[in-house]
């Protein structure tokens, strides 16, 4: 299949990643395996889609634990046994004697990690609890992270490398919000979730700062459905949990869960 035909299935902003993934698959066809950085679910879908076009290539995904959102991919010739391959994932635990530790959230830890010059692609899932944080990281940068992460949002912290089986995965916490909306349009639901006017919401959507199921979405009128995950840069993300029905006035009753 030509590159142009492949492109037709993906957003223009995804074409650069599609090119990279296609190159990984092509190299695997020539007996050269590729271990990727951590991929979000959309990127993993693209990789899997391209691998499925080749009879001679396979892929294994692993994020360090069952149910991982961000996972590394090992793309290899179909004759290789991948189950026992090292996926290059390390676990780092963050703790502190400071009582303010329990006030830190996901964005605090992410900000501290990125402030060390670390690329997001090298970081897997981040699990936050009152006692600190467990996060997954590409093994090739694990020592650097462990030695240099000494402060998170003005809280002095200690780090420790742990085996993956010691991971304390945090339950996803969602704040339930019940909405009554005129339609299932993206802009209407986003404006209600974040308490912003429809006019103010249009700006970031049309600027490419909104993703639906990890795919950039610039159409404000896109209809949402149960199960969709929406993220807005600078605002966080939420999941459409349920469309509970229609009122007598024709409005949709929708339950969403806002990630906290």
Structural tokens at position 121 = 């692609």
Distance CA 210, CA 11 (A): 13
- Mean pLDDT along residues 208-229: 93
Which residue is listed with tokens 């024709």?
Answer: 250
98 contacts 155 by C-beta, under 8 angstroms = yes
Residue 4: pLDDT band by 50, 70, 90 thresholds? low
**Of 38, 42, 46, nearest in space to 18 by CA:** 46
Question: Which pLDDT value is given to residue 259?
Answer: 85
Q: List C-alpha distances in Å: 82 to 41, 87, 154, 217.
A: 20, 9, 42, 35
What is the reported pTM?
0.83
Average pLDDT of span 32-42: 96
Instruction: Calculate mean pLDDT across residues 34-47.
Output: 96
- Distance spanning both ends of the chain, measured CA to CA: 43
Among residues 179, 219, 214, 181, which one has the least CA distance to residue 202? 219
For 56, the token pair is 């001679």
* Full strand arrangement of the beta sheet holding 57-62: 34-39, 71-77, 57-62
d(CA 213, CA 186): 12
Strands (E), the chain: 34-39, 57-62, 71-77, 89-95, 123-129, 132-138, 151-152, 155-156, 158-162, 174-181, 210-212, 215-216, 229-232, 236-246, 252-259
Angle between helices 186-193 and 198-206 (to 10 degrees): 120
pLDDT at residue 139, as a whole number: 97
Inter-residue long-range contacts of 17-20, CB under 8 Å, 24+ positions, other chains counted: 17/43, 17/46, 18/46, 18/50
Answer yes or no: are the C-beta atoms of 112 and 152 closer than 8 Å: yes
Reported as a single tens digit per residue, the pLDDT across 98-130 is 999 989 988 899 999 999 999 999 999 999 998
Complete domains list, the chain, with CATH: 3-77 (3.30.1370.160), 89-166 (3.30.70.330), 174-259 (3.10.290.10)
pLDDT tens column, 227-255: 999 999 888 899 999 999 999 889 999 99
Q: What would the two tokens of residue 247 be?
A: 């009122």
**pLDDT, tens digit (0-9, with 9 covering 90-100), for 134-151:** 999 999 999 999 999 999
- The pLDDT assigned to 31 comes to 95
Question: Crossing angle of helices 41-51/15-29, nearest 10°?
Answer: 40
pLDDT band for position 1 (cuts 50, 70, 90): very low
Percent of the chain exceeding pLDDT 90 equals 80
Predicted local distance difference test score (pLDDT) of residue 3: 54
């Amino acid at each position: 299949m030509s590159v142009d035909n492949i492109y037709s299935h993906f957003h223009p902003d995804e074409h650069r990643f599609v090119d990279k993934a296609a190159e990984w698959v092509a190299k695997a066809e020539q007996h050269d395996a590729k271990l990727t950085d951590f991929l979000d679910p959309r990127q993993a879908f693209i990789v899997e889609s391209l691998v499925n076009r080749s009879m001679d290539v396979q892929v294994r995904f692993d994020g360090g634990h069952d149910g991982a959102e961000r996972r590394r991919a090992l793309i290899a010739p179909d004759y290789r046994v991948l189950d026992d391959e090292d996926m290059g994932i390390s676990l780092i635990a963050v703790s502190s004697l400071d009582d303010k530790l329990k006030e830190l959230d996901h964005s605090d830890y992410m900000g501290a990690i990125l402030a060390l010059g670390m690329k997001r692609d090298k970081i897997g899932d981040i699990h936050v609890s009152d006692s600190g944080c467990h996060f997954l990281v590409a093994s090739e940068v694990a020592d650097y992270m462990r030695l240099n992460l000494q402060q998170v949002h003005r809280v002095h912290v200690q780090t420790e490398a742990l085996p993956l089986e010691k991971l304390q995965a945090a339950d996803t916490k969602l704040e339930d919000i019940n909405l009554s909306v005129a339609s299932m349009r993206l802009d209407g639901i986003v404006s209600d979730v974040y308490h912003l006017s429809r006019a103010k919401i249009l700006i970031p959507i049309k600027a490419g700062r909104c993703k639906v199921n990890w795919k950039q979405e610039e159409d404000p009128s896109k209809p949402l459905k149960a199960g969709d995950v929406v993220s807005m840069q600078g605002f966080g993300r939420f999941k459409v949990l349920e469309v509970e029905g229609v009122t007598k006035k024709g409005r949709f009753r929708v339950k969403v869960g806002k990630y906290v």
